[in-house]
Structure formats: C-alpha cells, structure tokens
Amino acid sequence: MVLEDNNLIAAMNRSDRKLLSDIAEIVEFKTGKTIYDPGDVVKHAFFPLGSSVASFLVVMDEGSVIETAMVGREGAIGGIVSQGRIAAYARSSVMNAGSFARIACTDLEEAKNRSSSLKHFFTRYADCLVAQIFQSVACNATHKVEARAAKWLAASVERTGLNDIVMTQEQFASILGVGRSYASRQIQRLKGEGLIRTRRGGILVKDYEGLRRRACGCNDLVRAHFDEVLAGVYPETVAGK
C-alpha cells in the first residue's frame, strides 16, 4: 500500500504528498475496530487506503448508533482541520478492513503550517465532509428506508470497489436506524429484485446500477459537491461496471 491509494492524498501536489509521506505510517485495522469513541482525545488522523472504509457513528442515549458519514479512499478521519488535540464527538469505526495511513495530529499541524496549499486543501475536504453529513441528516429525515438501504449499499461499493460487503443484517439495521426485522424485509425486497444476495455475515451486490436506480439521489449530490470542490477525489471505479 502507498499513500496515493488514498484519493485525497493522490490529488495533492507533489511537495504536499512528500510532506505527508515523511510523517505517515501504515497501520492495518480489522472490520469493527473502533478508532475513536465519543470523548476520546483525537491524537491521529487516519486516511483509508484502497478498499478500507470507516464510518462516523453518533451514539444515542439508549445505546443505538446512527451513521452520519461513510469515509473511504476519498477522505480522512480525525484531526484534519482542527488545531491541536480535541475530543471526538462521534464514534469512528472501521466498516471494511484494510490499510490506513496514520499521521499524528501534531505532525499534521506542523505540515499545514509549512504549506498553505496543504492547509487550504484540507479545508476544502472539510467542506465536502460537512456537505456529506448535511445530506445524510436530510436523507435520514425524509427518504424511505428502502431508498436509503439501496443508497448505502451503492455507496459501499463505490468506496471499496468491491461487490462483497462484510456486514450482518443487525449491523445494517443499526446503520439505517431501524429494527432488525424491518431491515431484513428491505434486504429480502432487494434480493427479490435480483439486486443483491446474502451470505453468512455479508451482502453481495449483484446489480450496482440497479441499486443506484432504487436509491435516493443523495449519493449523486455528494459526488457533485466533491467534484466541484475537489475534482477527481470522489471514487470513480466501481466493481461490476
């Protein structure tokens, strides 16, 4: 794995990539690994490489968790634009195992002080991430579960480049913010339409384009904003296309 396996880093100019390569280390995380819990001091930024994916999850009072943003090779988690160490608000968990570039926040802050272009680049990414979270909030409030389910599965394929999603139906229900039985009905509906099939501990996407047609338009709106602010960063290669 190299740092350019993260689209965000790959889109930087050569000197900024060199700054990051001098301070980054590659770590491996398994699916389900918690990177940060609410209240943890954010000491490192993590850049998913290749098919690695993490999510921001808001922990509710009763213990349920709701996903607010999925982050793959187009982005980063933790300490990107903040100055100094701050407390995490949401849980950050690995959704698809793999490699991550880890950079200490203190080193990243020094690199941004050395390069205004790097600092401005991360500011633009923060704008894209906030837009993604805004869209997620609106989507969860207004769109039907079946459309959100199709949207999430399509987004997972886009982020990983893989058709095989490692996830139980209980985890899928938690991400959608619905009960397991209701999520299971959505999965059965998508299976009945020939869009997916299930296996133990996972979901296989059979028809990515069909999922996109069943999904709401939120992924497309997020992609359009990325393309406007950080052209070429949002993943383009999709398995099965």
Q: How would DSSP label each residue in 46-59?
A: EEE-TT-EEEEEEE
Q: CATH 2.60.120.10 region(s) of the chain?
A: 3-115
pLDDT in tens, 17-58: 999 999 999 999 999 999 999 999 999 999 999 999 999 998
Q: Identify the CATH homologous superfamily for domain 3-115.
A: Jelly Rolls (2.60.120.10)
Q: CATH 1.10.10.10 region(s) of the chain?
A: 140-229
Phi, psi values for residue 52, rounded to 5°: -70, 140
| First CA to last CA distance, the chain | 24
Average pLDDT, the chain: 91
What is the identity of the amino acid at 105? C
Q: How would DSSP label each residue in 62-76?
A: TS-EEEEEEE-TT--
* Topology (CATH level 3) of domain 140-229: Arc Repressor Mutant, subunit A (1.10.10)
pLDDT in tens, 161-178: 999 998 888 888 888 888
The pLDDT of residue 66 is 85
pLDDT in tens, 177-221: 888 888 889 899 999 999 999 988 889 999 999 999 999 999 999
